[in-house]
Amino acid sequence: MTTPPQPAICLQYGLGTRAAYEAAQKSSQASFYAPIAVAITGVGLVGGELINQILALSAPSPFRIVSLSSSKHTLFSPQGLSLTPTSWKADLLEAEPMSPDVLQRKLIDLVSPNGKVVFVDNTSSEAVAARYPSLLEAGVNVITPNKKAFSGDAGLYDRIVAASKKSGAKFLNESTVGAGLPIISTLKDLVATGDKVHKIEGVFSGTMSYIFNNFSNGQEGGPSFSSVVRVAREKGYTEPHPADDLSGSDVARKLAILTRTIPSLQSTIPLPQGFKSVPTTTLIPEALSSLTSPESADEFTNRLVEFDSESDKLREDALKDGAVLRYVGVIDVKEGIVKADLQRYPKDHAFATSLGGSDNIISFHTERYGARPLIVQGAGAGAAVTAMGVLSDLLKLV
């Protein structure tokens, strides 16, 4: 009674299950190079940091980097590229021209039972994201901090889920929300173990966090909104055009991603079909809404001062009620609300007291964490922590 029956399917190969299994095991252990082939597209700040983090893993590494691609060039070697932290940039500059179609075909050809193939997309490109379904369907795993595919229209997302289900290849996107913070993995754990999510609420944008931690700190007075945005821009905490942060769309994208991580939500609240349908409060003054082109960034930033009296009043009104302002994302399952909004929080609320710098803070109110939420807090942006989130996803495939 101790050995489970051997399913018939195995016997037709003329092998017992154990032998077939051990053969497969040993073949992988005996392979001549690291079993997981990693192709990295996008070698900017995050991509560069990721390459360095992978190269710094202690030997024997489970990964071999089979491809590096910028928008212009691509390196490829099925056995793994010989990369060093100091030379890969020069190597890539001299490499052959990048052809996304050729790269995709080569990666698909690499898929074999001997080891996994992973496509890592460090771009923010919609065109690259559009390739995920084909890659997944052919068995190539996809790992990315690129929010486009998971926060965009339902069609692409549905095809990603279907392709992954069909082939068994995984898509992992921890870094799309909170960078290296354990946000998506925590939510997946809560849901997978049967907990019921009541509400997710948080400061999801590092830029918005910095702006409001400085603008509305619970004290009388304080710097003007326009000056805080100006300083944030000078420090590199905003996108090149601050309107890209102030629109709230980054928060809306993260909310779309989180709602999709909880499939059961679909039966309880009307889910946004992508970030554009998340009710989103913009902080772009209407009079400046035409100044969103890249070349208008300076004019936009300069003219924000015209609206400081309005933001001063918001801050004062909040303070009269003992509250601060925070730009938050909310998924309220009980109330059926998903929104990106500027809200007031009492001065003794965690969003007021424990936030600093450009921290993210996300609170999970669930059935099991009933009285008080599970909270994750920390830097939610930056190349090192974003790359770390990508690498921790990669390590989940080992």
Q: Taking the complex as a whole, how short is the minimal distance between the CB of residue 352 and a second copy, in angstroms? A: 9
Q: Taking the complex as a whole, how short is the minimal distance between the CB of residue 97 and a second copy, in angstroms? A: 19
Q: Say which residues have a Cβ less than 8 Å from residue 195's Cβ, sequence separation at least 6.
A: 366, 367, 368, 369
Q: Say which residues have a Cβ less than 8 Å from residue 86's Cβ, sequence separation at least 6.
A: none
User: For residues 311 and 377, which CB has a smaller minimum distance to a second copy in the complex?
Assistant: 377
Could you say which residues in the range 68-107 bind a second copy, by CB under 8 A?
78-79, 106
Could you say which residues in the range 115-154 bind a second copy, by CB under 8 A?
115
User: For residues 136 and 385, which CB has a smaller minimum distance to a second copy in the complex?
Assistant: 385
Catalytic annotation present for 254: yes
Q: Is 239 annotated as a binding residue?
A: yes
Rounded to 10 degrees, the C-alpha dihedral 208/129/169/269 comes to 50
Q: Is 194 annotated as a binding residue?
A: no
Q: Taking the complex as a whole, how short is the minimal distance between the CB of residue 348 and a second copy, in angstroms? A: 7
User: For residues 110 and 257, which CB has a smaller minimum distance to a second copy in the complex?
Assistant: 110
Q: Say which residues have a Cβ less than 8 Å from residue 382's Cβ, sequence separation at least 6.
A: 179, 206
Q: Is 46 annotated as a binding residue?
A: yes
End-to-end CA distance of the chain: 33
If you search the block for the tokens 């495939």, which residue do you land on?
A: 397
Q: Contact with a second copy (CB under 8 A): which of 114, 266, 289, 293?
A: 114
User: For residues 19 and 287, which CB has a smaller minimum distance to a second copy in the complex?
Assistant: 19
Q: Taking the complex as a whole, how short is the minimal distance between the CB of residue 238 and a second copy, in angstroms? A: 18
Which range of residues in 40-48, 113-121, 236-244, 283-291 is near a second copy by CB under 8 A?
113-121
Q: Is 218 annotated as a binding residue?
A: no
Q: Is 102 annotated as a binding residue?
A: no
Q: Taking the complex as a whole, how short is the minimal distance between the CB of residue 31 and a second copy, in angstroms? A: 6
Q: Is 155 annotated as a binding residue?
A: no
If you search the block for the tokens 């790992």, which residue do you land on?
A: 143
Q: Contact with a second copy (CB under 8 A): which of 129, 381, 391, 397?
A: 391
Could you say which residues in the range 154-213 bind a second copy, by CB under 8 A?
180-182, 185-186, 189-190, 192-195
240 touches a second copy (CB under 8 A):
no
Could you say which residues in the range 314-373 bind a second copy, by CB under 8 A?
348, 350, 353-354, 356-357, 359, 364, 368-369, 371-373
Q: Is 147 annotated as a binding residue?
A: yes
Contact 150, 173 (CB under 8 A): yes
Rg of the chain (C-alpha set): 24
Q: Taking the complex as a whole, how short is the minimal distance between the CB of residue 304 and a second copy, in angstroms? A: 26
Could you say which residues in the range 41-60 bind a second copy, by CB under 8 A?
53, 56-57
Of the residues 165, 188, 235, 254, which is catalytic?
A: 254
- Active site amino acids: 254
Residues comprising the binding site for L-homoserine? Answer: 239
Residues comprising the binding site for NADP(+)? Answer: 42-47
Residues comprising the binding site for NADPH? Answer: 123, 147
